[in-house]
Amino acid sequence: EKAEIGLIGLAVMGSNLALNIAEKGNRIAVFNRTPEKTDTFVVEAGALREHIVPTKSLEEFVAAIRPPRPVIIMVKAGEPVDELIATLRNHLSAGDIIIDAGNANFRDTIRRFEGLKDSGLTFIGMGVSGGEEGARHGPSIMVGGTEASYKRVEKVLTSISAKFKGEDCCAWLGENGAGHFVKTIHNGIEYADMQMIAEIYGILRDGLGLSAKECSDIFGKWNKSRLESYLIEISAAVLKASDPITGKPMVDLIVDRAGQKGTGKWSAIEAQNMGVPATAIEAAVAARSLSSFKIQREAAEKILGLPGEGAIKPASRDAFIADLEMALLAGKIGAYAQGFAVMAEASKEFGWSLPMPDIAKIWRAGCIIRSQFLDDITSAFRAMPDASNLIITPAFSAMVKETDGALRRVVAAAVTAGLPVPALASALGYFDSYRRGRGTANLIQAQRDFFGAHGFDRIDGVDKHHGPWGSGLADF
Ligand code: NBP
């Protein structure tokens, strides 16, 4: 019996995805460049072995799959993907589908999609979120490619995806790079979400002097309310854990230097390319970069000292902690509004028709940013699919009005205490700028006209587009 699908690359992500596919009763052929890994994989598969066809050559692999053959590749992103595609071109036949499930840059995906067009092969760029655990038990799956090629794999993909109240967290989002683009923005939002949680943790730890255990209790409580989400849940769990060697809280022993693989940065770059503000995502990427300057930060602390008042002494600690919860919710709204605005613009620019309610829908389970909150976003976009921004939808404008006071108080308290809150503050700045009908760019336009004769529009419609600046600064 032929396999329904094939998979190449049996490292962490590929092997877990293959086991998930097999577990749902889909027959799958597997191949790995280093054959020993295939042997180990088959042993680890246990009872699922009956659905797996292990192969040791690409000829054998290709022959084992039912045409038109869908082949998932889950190898190291970048050069290895191009090498593998070049090799597969010699083995696959017209109609076969190569599915890149790694973390590709969507621009590479578009290039690969176009590059395969005249070969008769089709290409799918598939964003898979949820890490190792998601791959094994149900990831969120974001598919880009032709709709016809998606139809060929839809059954297998929906069988393995996460489910939210019975609905599949898997969808076809558009042509070529749509899936990998949406995955990139997912990761950008993830960066902002994580950074804002870390900023709130900083206020609790350094502003209120709470222990890791006390912070854990607060996050644990929030996870039962409107902030319910995977990231709050794991933050509570992480803050509770003790180091088995010293018995101290584990987080207190971890160096404050965050790694990054690039998808957050890609989100910020693409947002900037399109002229869409994604300040919370940008702040989160910058905060990770700043965190890596550990030696410089320690040296600067000696030279400049810590700023502000240090501690926060609120009149009511309970009321302030309630404010922190609402501030985090407000900040989150800002970050998601920005991420969705970036996708809306990209949809126009790349001709994708990205379905906003469906994107929020497939992020509700399986992925790292999964949360109750995303269900609210799904409803908001379903009610108003053409909303220019999430924060003007009826549900979210009400939420902004309800929570932005808390965000303002928390940012003010943190700034006074000298505690850095770049992502939360940027979300607040975004709300304050976005909701203000008359801003201050009139002065910028005047400056531009002064030094560069760039001209400006007048509010009264008078057809005169340059200022009476004269020849210089003689009057001063
Ligand atoms: P790695 O990124 O560590 O890649 C290892 C795999 O690539 C091995 O199977 C290796 O074969 C194969 N490979 C390489 Br390297 N070069 C190859 C080539 N030229 N031809 C064929 N195979 C080649 O694996 P991973 O950590 O499982 O990640 C896979 C993908 O998933 C990456 O794109 C990664 O960014 C992404 N990822 C996603 C998430 C998520 O949450 N979605 C999490 C982690 C990773 P070998 O055994 O012969 O060396």
Q: Is the CB–ligand 1 distance for residue 129 below 6 Å?
A: yes
The whole-chain average pLDDT of the chain stands at: 96
Give the separation between CA 143 and CA 179, rounded to whole angstroms: 4
Task: For ligand 1, say whether the CB of 13 is within 6 Å of any of its atoms.
Answer: yes
pLDDT in tens, 303-350: 999 998 889 999 999 999 999 999 999 999 999 999 999 999 999 999
Residues 400-414: tens digit of each pLDDT: 999 999 999 999 999
d(CA 41, CA 22): 12
Nearest one of 109, 127, 15, 99 to 367, comparing CA atoms = 127
Continuous segment of H or E residues that includes residue 448? helix 441-452
pLDDT at position 305: 95
Confirm if 89 and 115 have CB atoms less than 8 A apart: no
d(CA 242, CA 236): 12
Find, among 180, 186, 172, the residue nearest to 107 by Cα: 180
CB proximity list for 216: less than 8 A, separation 6 or greater: 235, 236, 237, 238, 239, 240
Nearest CA to ligand 1 atom 33: 102
CB 230 within 8 A of CB 370: yes
Rounded alpha-carbon distances, angstroms, from residue 223 to 219, 241, 416: 6, 17, 28
Which of 40, 76, 362 to probe ligand 1 with, by most ligand atoms within 8 A of CB? Answer: 76
Sequence letter at residue 452: G
112/176 Cα distance (integer angstroms): 9
Atom 45 (ligand 1) nearest CA: 13
Q: Could you tell me the residue ranges of all domains in the chain?
A: 5-176, 184-434
> To test ligand 1's pocket by mutation, which of 10, 31, 33, 84 has the most ligand atoms within 8 angstroms of CB?
33
Quick: pLDDT tens for 109-118.
999 999 999 9
- Under 8 Å between Cβ of 177 and 113: yes
Q: Residue with the nearest Cα to atom 13 of ligand 1?
A: 75
Whole-angstrom Cα distance, residue 61 to residue 98? Answer: 13
- How far, in Å, is the centroid of ligand 1 from the Cα of 131? 13
The alpha carbon of residue 218 and the mean position of all alpha carbons in its chain are separated, in whole angstroms, by: 25
Question: Hey, what CATH topology would domain 184-434 get?
Answer: N-(1-d-carboxylethyl)-l-norvaline Dehydrogenase; domain 2 (1.10.1040)
Of 189, 198, 173, nearest to 270 (Cα)? 189
**Whole-angstrom distance, CA of residue 3 vs CA of residue 5:** 5
Q: Do domains 5-176 and 184-434 have the same CATH topology?
A: no
Backbone angles phi, psi at 241, to 5 degrees: -75, 140
Q: How far is the CA of 74 from the centre of ligand 1 (A)?
A: 6
pLDDT over 70 (residue 476): no
pLDDT band at 475, cuts 50/70/90? low
pLDDT in tens, 121-179: 999 999 999 999 999 999 999 999 999 999 999 999 999 999 999 999 999 999 999 99
Q: Is the beta carbon of 128 within 6 A of some atom in ligand 1?
A: yes
Does ipTM surpass 0.90 in this model? yes
Q: Map residue 73 onto helix, strand or coil.
A: strand
> Residue 126: beta bridge partners?
143
**Can you tell me which atom of ligand 1 is nearest the CA of 130?**
41
User: Mean per-residue pLDDT for 271-290?
Assistant: 98
Q: Which residue has its alpha carbon closest to ligand 1 atom 3?
A: 76
* Short-list 207, 210, 420, 410, CA closest to 313: 207
Cβ–ligand 1 distance for 392 under 6 Å, the answer no
Task: Using a pLDDT cut of 70, give the percent of the chain over it.
Answer: 99
Closest CA to 176 of 143, 141, 148: 143
Q: What is the mean pLDDT of residues 17-27?
A: 98
Q: Is 368 in the pocket of ligand 1 (CB under 6 A)?
A: no
- pLDDT band (50, 70, 90) for residue 472: low
Q: Measured at the alpha carbon of residue 429, what is the angle toward residues 425 and 435, in degrees to the nearest 5?
A: 145
Q: Which residues are catalytic?
A: 183, 190
**Ligand 1 lined by 387 (C-beta under 6 Å):** no
Does ligand 1 have an atom closer than 6 angstroms to the CB of 412? Answer: no
Contact 261, 221 (CB under 8 A): no
Fold of 5-176: Rossmann fold (3.40.50)
Distance from first CA to last CA of the chain, Å, rounded? Answer: 88
Retrieve residue 82's tokens. Answer: 């191009």
**Do residues 402 and 412 make contact, with C-beta atoms less than 8 angstroms apart?**
no
